[in-house]
Amino acid sequence: MQYGVRAVRDRTDAELIQECLDGHSEAWDFLVHRYSRLIYSIPFKWGLQREDAKEIYQSVWLDCFQELHSLRDINRLQAWLVRIAIRKCYRFSTNKRSRPEDVEIVETDHASEDPSEGLIARLDREQLIRMSIAKLTERCQQVIKALFFEDPFPGYATIAARLGLSSNSIGFTRDRCLERLGKLLEELGYEH
């Protein structure tokens, strides 16, 4: 089967991993993009700086690449990536405090625990939102990103102008996009 017959965004992680191993670099690209923001956000949430975040990000993906053969059978790649990223953040911050002796005691257990009041649960929910937004139409993605991610809030008239809509119809479009996003989140198992 030629690569790309089915939309790559609909492929499961396991399918993408197998395709990576089969030499399809597009599969690796998509896998990286799927979880890129999730992984890059973790060092910042851990309180690390940008330079550290860059190093940890690359290190997590290098580990993922090197473990592809064993990750084929994993149920939740996302959980694996988060666990590895948190371990690296922990080790990084511990080393920076020059207290390597702590690693022996805590390192193995740390990642399986909730390290900072629900960080893992929050990361999961944020990632579901990213994945749901990625499944929206281009137009709805623009609306949702303007609604939630722009600071200051651009206002409905601006959003309407960007989309080439009248100010009167932006309310309908906004509601439709919010509704669609909510349904996608439900389908992906978002729980609150």
Partner 1 sequence: MESRIDHIALVSLFERARLNTELDGSAQAHLNSCHLCRGRLDWMQVSAGLGVRELSYDPPQPVMEAVLRLGRDSSRLKQLRNAVVALVTFDSFKQLAPAGIRSTEASSRQMTFETHGVEIGVLMRLSEDRKLSLAGQVLDKLSGPIQDPAARVDLVIEGDHIMTSSLSPWGEFVFSDVPKAQYGLQVYVLDRMLQIPSLPSIDEQRSPG
Tell me the C-alpha distance between 66 and 83, whole Å. 16
Which residues within the stretch 82-141 sit at the binding site for partner 1 (CB under 8 A)? Answer: 83-84, 87-88, 91, 100, 103-104, 107-108, 122, 125-126, 129-130
We find the least distance from the C-beta atom of residue 32 to partner 1, in angstroms, to be 6
What phi and psi, each to the nearest 5 degrees, are found at residue 149? Answer: -110, -5
Which 8-state DSSP code applies to residue 113?
Answer: S
Stretch that binds partner 1, among 5-13, 38-46, 134-142, 160-168 (CB under 8 A): 38-46
**Residue 166 makes contact with partner 1 by CB under 8 A:** no
Total site size for partner 1, rule CB under 8 A: 62
| Tokens 């929910």 -> residue | 125
User: What is the sign, positive or negative, of the torsion defined by CA atoms of 87, 88, 89, 90?
Assistant: positive
Handedness of CA 51, 43, 74, 180 (dihedral sign): negative
**Does the bond joining 115 to the residue before it have cis omega, within 30 degrees of 0?**
no
Nearest residue to 131 (alpha-carbon basis) of 43, 49, 35, 4: 35
Site string for partner 1, 40-79 (x = CB under 8 A): xx--x--------xx--xxx-xxx-xxxxxxx--------
**1-9, 26-34, 134-142, 160-168 -> range binding partner 1 (CB under 8 A):** 26-34
Interacting positions 131-150 with partner 1 (CB under 8 A):
144-145, 147-150
Phi, psi for 74 (deg, rounded to 5): -80, 145
Distance CA 40, CA 53 (A): 6
Put residue 23 in one of left, alpha, beta given phi > 0 → left and psi -120 to 50 → alpha. Answer: left
Q: Is 27 in the site for partner 1 (CB under 8 A)?
A: yes
The least CB distance from residue 84 to partner 1, in Å, is 5
Note the residues at the interface with partner 1 (CB under 8 A).
20-21, 23, 25, 27-29, 32, 36-37, 40-41, 44, 53-54, 57-59, 61-63, 65-71, 80, 83-84, 87-88, 91, 100, 103-104, 107-108, 122, 125-126, 129-130, 144-145, 147-151, 153, 171, 174-175, 178-179, 181-182, 185, 190, 192
